[in-house]
Structure 1
Amino acid sequence: MNGAIQRILVAGFSTRHVVSSAVRAGLEVCAIDNFCDQDLRNLVFAYERFEELAELPDLIRRFCSEQKVDAVITTSGAEDLVNLPVPILGTDPAIASQFLDKELTQRFFEEHGFPVPARALPGVFPAMLKPCRGSGGWRNALVTSEEDIRAWESIFPGEPYLLQELAPGIPASVCCVADGNRAKAVAVNLQILRGSREARYGFCGSLTPFRHQMADQMRMMAERIAAATGCCGVLGIDFLVTDTSITAIEVNPRFVATLDTIERATGCNLVRLHIDACHGVLPEVIPEIRRTCIRQILFAPQDLTITSDLSHLIPDVADIPVPPASFEKGDAVISVYGEGENESSARLALDKTIRRVSQYIG
């Protein structure tokens, strides 16, 4: 790691996972975040909360005028910010911007010959509708008619979208580190999606490692994709995988949401790998899998208010609400974890954690 970097600002919609890794890497960390959960506040020397992403650029500039910061790491919502007062540690915003647009990402996959869902022909259903901008899959929708498309457009008026043919497979991802020209795969993960209601394709957790017969092929394809993007530092490539095929879905030019399960499963530090990659150094060998770890986001089963400090449940929980915290039905409340020697034991541990937490959010 470059010794000159001592203090970093992590800025974006959700930063706790990156902040935690940076602290474990021995850095002094501050954050600008949409949530500013209890565990994040306990880790940083300063923090600022925002409501709307449009506030971020001015907040970062003011924050850096008040705090000594060597560099900024951007997370979701901040990847394409420019003219910041301190150096960006990661992918150039102009490059990141391409992969924040699903239409441009589709063209990238097509032009480089990577397998990607074909564009749906007009009037051919079913199809997958994806907003061109947005992360986490929360607004993706399966449409079976023109009426479905019109209904989506009424909810998100004026929002550009991409229509793709349905592709088979299990949602998976590969975390890579890249130096702008080369890339190394770090871990293969199972992506856990919401699975119901209007946000059925929304990300709500991960399992590392994802032991699948196509895992090595996913690693190799992810390294080729990541190297071709020009991205720098940690990034993620999303796939759909079957026993015989791999389909590329997205490039995430930022720190991956699977960071927690990757670090717990391997013992590696992704912020350290990120900084090294930004200085042209990639890991010679991939991190060894030590355990299996699963993370799941819990959602409010009904409108509720949490009045207890749940910090005593660490390390089995993260993204801890600051009490009193009110949630509407369906809101994300807290992250829970399970670890074990294999997937079965990790899921048993996760179930135990969920039972402990449910007494506070049931």
Structure 2
Amino acid sequence: MIGLSARALVTAARRAGLAALALDLFADMDTLRLAAKSVTLRRGRGLTIEAADLLDQLARHIGPDTPVVLSSGFEHRPRLVERLASRFSLMGSDARTLRLLKQPRAFAELLAELDIPHPRLFEREAPAGVPALAKRVGGAGGQHIRPARRVSGRQRYLQERLPGRAVSALFLGDRRSARLIGFSEQWCDPAPGVPFRYGGAAGPIQLEPPMEHAIAAALERVTNAAGIAGLASADLIVDGSRWHLIEINPRPGASLDVFDHPPLPPLLRLHLEACAGHLPAPPAALPPPRAAGLLYAPVPFTLGAEPLPEWVADCPPQGAAFRAGDPVCTVFATGDSAGQARSAAQDRARALMSRLICADGAAG
């Protein structure tokens, strides 16, 4: 299980009855507890995994037939994915799929060919009166997104900004067909300079049946064209009866925290089966509403000795120091609806952050 953070994958592996080797940048306390073994990878420039260290650690710890599952951190690195696939048993979408889905121009052209509604891309400058967003190629987490009229540079692109709410569709692909699992709604946690910082997700939610069917059909077409394998998520903007496909992440992601619960079977098992060419039947029922929100440090502080609540994941070790804006942990909550679960998670996050800052101040 490899990613910038492998905790969600390791949690999914434990639920599926699998012993997981976790390789990531953080080695959070719950990752250490849940994994059979955890390896902390060297960090490259920015928040990236150093390729040479990753390949070396895999060669030390696993054989060529051990399944390797990737999460975040590989969206903009198809060459590294190719190297992994040539040496290990990669269970997931390949480098060709990444190049089709994570290069904005290629993705937009694919959606146009498949007659799937999507936002326009602009070469250098948005037309007068058209709101637009500047994004980084391969970016994740929303911190790279800014409102903009123009953009320059190979690693930035300009996309039409559409009105509506952010919805994510979790699905499985077997490289030919897709199976929709469910929808969740995302929210932003804006801060100075990062107006679209990812805040969390809550679900499951329901859309109007005709829209759900249209989105499922679109995911089927994209999966067949791009060869999506295993768990993936599609980011959508939904505005009344209209919807647009914004992005596809062809990997297990944050939706695991919302959906990987009874009565659904273990999603990592379904991921491995889909990669082997076997799609499950449509789910008969979905889990109760649940939210998973990221907690960011509003000011610098150091984590004290008090244990974090049981409804927290991605738990850092005692003494971890955070700068303003750093992610601290993930906060879970349930409710009678996705909206209630989201509100409960946000209330918990605010109360926990206040407590952590006060404890640090008292300690100082």
Alignment TM-score, normalising by the size of structure 2: 0.86
Structure 1 segment 124-135 matched on structure 2, within 5 A: 124-125=127-128, 126-135=131-140
Matched residue, 1:167: 162
Provide the C-alpha distance between the structure 1 equivalents of 2:244 and 2:126, rounded to a whole number of angstroms.
23
- 1:336 alignment partner, SS class: strand
Provide the C-alpha distance between the structure 2 equivalents of 1:260 and 1:344, rounded to a whole number of angstroms.
16
The more displaced of 285-294 and 123-132 is: 123-132
CA shift digits 1:112-168 (9 cap, x unpaired): 221111223735243221222322232111114x5xx4xxx6xxxx44322222212
- Judge conservation of contact 1:191–1:206 (CA < 8 Å) in 2: yes
Provide the C-alpha distance between the structure 2 equivalents of 1:120 and 1:325, rounded to a whole number of angstroms.
42
CA shift digits 1:332-354 (9 cap, x unpaired): 11110111232354245425533
Provide the C-alpha distance between the structure 1 equivalents of 2:113 and 2:332, rounded to a whole number of angstroms.
39
The more displaced of 220-229 and 190-199 is: 220-229
For the aligned residue pairs, the C-alpha RMSD in angstroms reads 2.3
Q: 2:22 aligns with which of 8, 27, 31?
A: 31
Q: 1:57 aligns with which of 48, 51, 58?
A: 51
Q: Identify if the C-alpha distance between structure 1 residues 54 and 352 changes in structure 2 by more than 3 Å, giving closer, same or farther.
A: closer
Matched residue, 1:139: 144
Q: 1:68 aligns with which of 58, 62, 72?
A: 62
- 1:261 alignment partner, SS class: helix
- Judge conservation of contact 1:174–1:222 (CA < 8 Å) in 2: no
- Judge conservation of contact 1:12–1:74 (CA < 8 Å) in 2: yes
Q: Identify if the C-alpha distance between structure 1 residues 23 and 309 changes in structure 2 by more than 3 Å, giving closer, same or farther.
A: farther
Q: 1:100 aligns with which of 75, 94, 102?
A: 102
Q: CA deviation at 1:221?
A: 2.9
- 1:97 alignment partner, SS class: helix
Structure 1 segment 207-356 matched on structure 2, within 5 A: 207-213=202-208, 214-264=211-261, 266-286=263-283, 288-308=285-305, 310-311=307-308, 313-314=309-310, 316-347=311-342, 349-351=344-346, 353-354=348-349
Partner AA of 2:27 in structure 1: C
Q: Identify if the C-alpha distance between structure 1 residues 187 and 68 changes in structure 2 by more than 3 Å, giving closer, same or farther.
A: same
CA shift digits 1:308-347 (9 cap, x unpaired): 2535x22x11111111111111111111011123235424
Matched, 1:360 2:356: yes
- Judge conservation of contact 2:302–2:320 (CA < 8 Å) in 1: yes
Matched, 1:44 2:35: yes
The more displaced of 227-236 and 178-187 is: 227-236
The more displaced of 322-331 and 188-197 is: 188-197
Q: CA deviation at 1:250?
A: 0.5
- 1:291 alignment partner, SS class: coil
Identity across matched positions, percent: 26
Q: CA deviation at 1:237?
A: 0.9
Matched residue, 1:180: 175
- Judge conservation of contact 1:226–1:235 (CA < 8 Å) in 2: no
- Judge conservation of contact 1:175–1:256 (CA < 8 Å) in 2: no
- Judge conservation of contact 1:91–1:233 (CA < 8 Å) in 2: yes
Unaligned segments of structure 2, at least 5 residues: 359-364
Provide the C-alpha distance between the structure 2 equivalents of 1:353 and 1:263, rounded to a whole number of angstroms.
21
Matched residue, 2:74: 78
Provide the C-alpha distance between the structure 2 equivalents of 1:356 and 1:193, rounded to a whole number of angstroms.
19
Matched residue, 2:361: none
Alignment TM-score, normalising by the size of structure 1: 0.86
Q: Identify if the C-alpha distance between structure 1 residues 180 and 361 changes in structure 2 by more than 3 Å, giving closer, same or farther.
A: farther
Aligned residue-pair number: 341
Provide the C-alpha distance between the structure 2 equivalents of 1:258 and 1:361, rounded to a whole number of angstroms.
29
- 2:121 alignment partner, SS class: coil
